[in-house]
Structure 1
Amino acid sequence: MIRYPIDVATRVSANLSALFESQVNDPDAEQPVTLASVRAFIAGLLPASLSEAERLHHVDIDDSLLDELDALIEEFGGDSLAIEFAQSNASEPLSRVIDAVVNDENRENPPTLETIKEAIASGLPARLVGDGVLEDDEDDGLLAEIEALIRRHGADSLAEEFIRYE
């Protein structure tokens, strides 16, 4: 895996990042998922009988998304792994959980992703629902989400780096 000297995911739009994530997480996807394979996937969605401009608008894929992908391919090559370009942030509900742990006055060290997983498993989301910080249905997928972040970034990654509010 190539490690870029910059965080290339910060240069990718949220829509393209979501497309990368969906392709990487597709159980039927050929491995590895590269920038070129994502572009081929998009092209495969479009009916061949339409002009390229018509095809783009036909499936609500705008020119800017394809232009953005083409620019990445030009700069980094079509063989670059798509996952390297996917933004990896916590959802807003998970960000609120992380924020609650980070701001815990009794904590001596900055929490890691593993610390957040333990807090979730210990019932923190239920307390946050009771406090009105989370909605009833927002705590459902938190454990799966934190486990996915751990698989991708490691249990010792600082949780605070994944906070994102929309």
Structure 2
Amino acid sequence: MTRNSLDVATRVSPQLSDLLNSRINNPENEQPVTLMAVRRFLSDLLPSDFNEAERMHHFDISESLTDELDALIEEFGATALAIDFAQVNASEPLSRAIERVVNDENRENPPTLAVVRDALLAGLGARLVGDGVLEDDEDDTLLAEIEALIDRFGPDTLAEDLLRYE
């Protein structure tokens, strides 16, 4: 099965992404979650007499979660992995670390996840704590988080693409 790129997740609404992430992160899952598994889950939540006029429509969005899922299934197939469609952002502490690397005026190229990992290994987290950018305990999980992102997207993914803006 071909994995879909990071770009496909940008086409998914935040509401559907939240639903996908909730199903992906369910500890009872024994197998990778597919789009069809999420669709079945959503269908099971709806009453049996649910009709088209009563669909759960988003505010200011014309498609419901069900419609959006159906469109993804039609385009990518029922067995496409849900994880490929869920939006992923770095945590706030990791976003601060990424921003520090991005804003390094000595850097010529946009940093990748591997570059950020290398900066963390070289003490970036401790420097951010020392500068007051991070709390003492916020740097404890940065390395594990960047490793998980590298495992999911690859070391050459631009770190900037995963920044959390809030």
Q: Under a length normalisation based on structure 1, what TM-score does the superposition of the two structures give?
A: 0.74
Structure 1 residue aligned with 2:16: 16
Instruction: Report the residue type matching 1:132 in the other structure.
Output: G
Structure 2 residue aligned with 1:68: 68
Post-superposition offset of 1:140: 3.8
Structure 2 residue aligned with 1:103: 103
Distance 1:4 1:120, change over 3 A: closer
Higher share in helix:
1
Post-superposition offset of 1:17: 1.6
TM-superposition CA deviations, 1:112-137 (whole Å, max 9, x none): 21221222233322322332323445
Deviates further, 63-72 or 78-87: 63-72
Instruction: Report the residue type matching 2:125 in the other structure.
Output: P
Distance 1:98 1:6, change over 3 A: closer
TM-superposition CA deviations, 1:26-74 (whole Å, max 9, x none): 4532433211101222334x386x7447xx99xxxx4433332233224
Structure 1 residue aligned with 2:41: 41
Structure 2 residue aligned with 1:156: 156
Distance 1:165 1:6, change over 3 A: closer
Could you tell me which runs of 5 or more consecutive residues in structure 1 were left unpaired when the two chains were aligned: none
TM-superposition CA deviations, 1:97-156 (whole Å, max 9, x none): 111012223334432212212222333223223323234454343222211110011122
Asked if the contact 2:6–2:84 (Cα under 8 Å) also holds between the matched residues in 1, the reply is no
Asked if the contact 2:5–2:84 (Cα under 8 Å) also holds between the matched residues in 1, the reply is no
Runs of 4+ in 1 over 4 A off after TM superposition: 3-6
Distance 1:125 1:51, change over 3 A: farther
Asked if the contact 2:120–2:143 (Cα under 8 Å) also holds between the matched residues in 1, the reply is yes
Is residue 2:81 matched to residue 1:115? Answer: no
Percent sequence identity over aligned pairs: 65
Between the aligned partners of 1:122 and 1:17, the Cα distance in structure 2 is: 34
CA-based RMSD of the aligned residues comes to 3.1
Between the aligned partners of 1:95 and 1:19, the Cα distance in structure 2 is: 23
Instruction: Report the residue type matching 2:24 in the other structure.
Output: V
Structure 2 residue aligned with 1:165: 165
Between the aligned partners of 1:6 and 1:132, the Cα distance in structure 2 is: 32
